[in-house]
Amino acid sequence: MSLTDQDVEKIAHLARIQLEPEERARYLQELNGILDLVAQMNRVDTEGVPPMAHPLHMVQRLRPDLVTESDRREAFQAIAPLTEAGLYLVPKVIE
């Protein structure tokens, strides 16, 4: 499987990344290189090997259900571009 220029454009759009035409060409090549590697791995017989979800051989530790965080809104909002009445303001999004 190899990607087309349109695929790269679509992926960039989904990731909200703006690419210049020469960047698109470079990413097309690099992404296809990655897919070639995947194709190579796909050729290995993995019958009976369970899919790996995480490289660490550990399991998820659970946290007791306790409220441990206090209100730090002021500190967080000090670095926000725009706030009002405790809300973060962002360019209008409405469907």
Partner 1 sequence: MPWEIVIGLEIHAQLATQSKIFSGASTAFGAPPNTQACAVDLGLPGVLPVLNEQAVRCAIRFGRAIQAEIAPRSIFARKNYFYPDLPKGYQISQYELPIVGKGQVHILLADGTRKRIGITRAHLEEDAGKSLHEDFHGYTGIDLNRAGTPLLEIVSEPDLRSPEEAVAYARKIHQIVRWIGISDGNMQEGSFRMDANVSVRPQGAETFGTRTEIKNLNSFRFLERALRFEVDRQIDVLERGGQVVQETRLYDVDRDQTRPMRTKEEANDYRYFPDPDLLPLVLEEEQIARATADLPELPDVKAARFRDQYGLSDYDANLLTSSLAMADYFEAVAQACDNPKLAANWLLGEVSAALNKADLDLEQAPISAEQLAGLLQRIEDGTISNKIAKQVFEALWRGEGPTADAIIEAQGLKQITDRDAISALVDAVIAQHPAQVAQYRAGKEKVLGFLVGQVMKASRGKANPQQVNALLREKLKA
* Residues of this chain that bind partner 1 (CB under 8 A): 14-16, 53-54, 56, 58-69, 71-73, 76-77, 82, 84-95
In the complex, least distance from residue 15 CB atom to partner 1, rounded to whole angstroms: 8
Please identify, using beta-carbon distances, which residue of 44 and 53 lies nearer to partner 1. Answer: 53
Q: How far is the CB of 25 from partner 1 (least distance, A)?
A: 22
In this complex, which beta carbon is closest to partner 1, that of residue 21 or of residue 52?
52
CA distance linking residue 22 with residue 28, whole number of Å: 10
Quick one: which of 76, 63, 56 has its CA closest to 88?
Answer: 76
As a whole number of angstroms, the distance between CA 5 and CA 23 comes to 11
Q: Is there a contact between 11 and 35 (Cβ–Cβ < 8 Å)? A: no
Calpha distance 10→28 (Å, rounded): 12
- Nearest CB to partner 1, comparing residues 43 and 63: 63
Query: Minimum Å distance from CB 17 to partner 1?
Result: 11
User: Per the structure block, which two tokens stand in for 7?
Assistant: 């695929």
